[in-house]
Structure 1
């Protein structure tokens, strides 16, 4: 599969999964704000890693992640209706902490800059 095709599939799946999570899942455990940050489909289209970023406290993040993992079959079925692929990949949902890590690094850099300004 060419890189161009896999990139298109990744982006299309990311868009559709985001729409499904936002509008079709009615699980009461969804308490944290959820956004799909990245989707990586294997070359043979058998698996897709879905990286989600969750905003909220730790308890709500855990509940929302568990609800997402439990509803992966529903999401996969809905993808089958919305995307024209011969095989719809099995979804592996993982938590993406890159936004939080970026905020932490930004905070550290801000503190270093303040410390340097106070020394001068």
Structure 2
């Protein structure tokens, strides 16, 4: 379970990392891609922060993740500048794609009946447990 300190640091990092990434995308002239930081979880020793990003459209997720990892040190530096009054030591940032929104969307599609096994019996084969 996360301590209040971890949650507080995660919240600060979440806001600042999101700002830095969105600014970088604007400066690079990237159009039509929305990146939001959905969660930042910090280890108990505050040395590592896992940054979960949601990318829309989700097909661009891997490309955005690759580009973010290429400029990882610049992002860390800019975030460190913003948080220098709140954090003594800047945690190492690791980036991940948060696909929970896509997962929820797939569940909604299934509930709406687009994948109805009664009308489409071939679906039953792929749903069976192996």
The question of a shared fold, defined as TM-score above 0.5 by the shorter chain, is answered with: yes
The reply on whether 1:52 has 2:53 as its aligned counterpart is yes
Question: Equivalents in 2 of 1:19, 1:3: separation in Å?
Answer: 25
- Which structure has the greater CA radius of gyration? 2
CA contact (8 A) 2:6 2:46 kept: no
Aligned with 2:110 (options 97, 108, 115): 108
Question: Equivalents in 2 of 1:66, 1:110: separation in Å?
Answer: 34
Matched with 1:39 is 40
How many pairs does the alignment contain? 113
- 1:81 is displaced (CA, Å) by 0.9
- 1:63 is displaced (CA, Å) by 1.8
Question: Equivalents in 1 of 2:58, 2:82: separation in Å?
Answer: 33
- SS of the residue corresponding to residue 82 of structure 1 reads helix
Go from structure 1 to structure 2 and tell me whether the alpha carbon gap of 1:46 and 1:30 turns closer, same or farther (over 3 Å shift).
Answer: farther
- 1:61 is displaced (CA, Å) by 2.6
Q: Give me the TM-score of the superposition, normalised by structure 1.
A: 0.81
Q: Give me the TM-score of the superposition, normalised by structure 2.
A: 0.75
- 1:23 is displaced (CA, Å) by 1.7
CA contact (8 A) 2:33 2:55 kept: yes
Matched with 1:73 is 73
**Higher helix proportion (structure 1 or 2):** 1
Computed over aligned residues only, the root mean square deviation of the Cα atoms, in angstroms, reads 2.4
- 1:46 is displaced (CA, Å) by 1.0
- SS of the residue corresponding to residue 79 of structure 1 reads helix
Go from structure 1 to structure 2 and tell me whether the alpha carbon gap of 1:30 and 1:52 turns closer, same or farther (over 3 Å shift).
Answer: farther
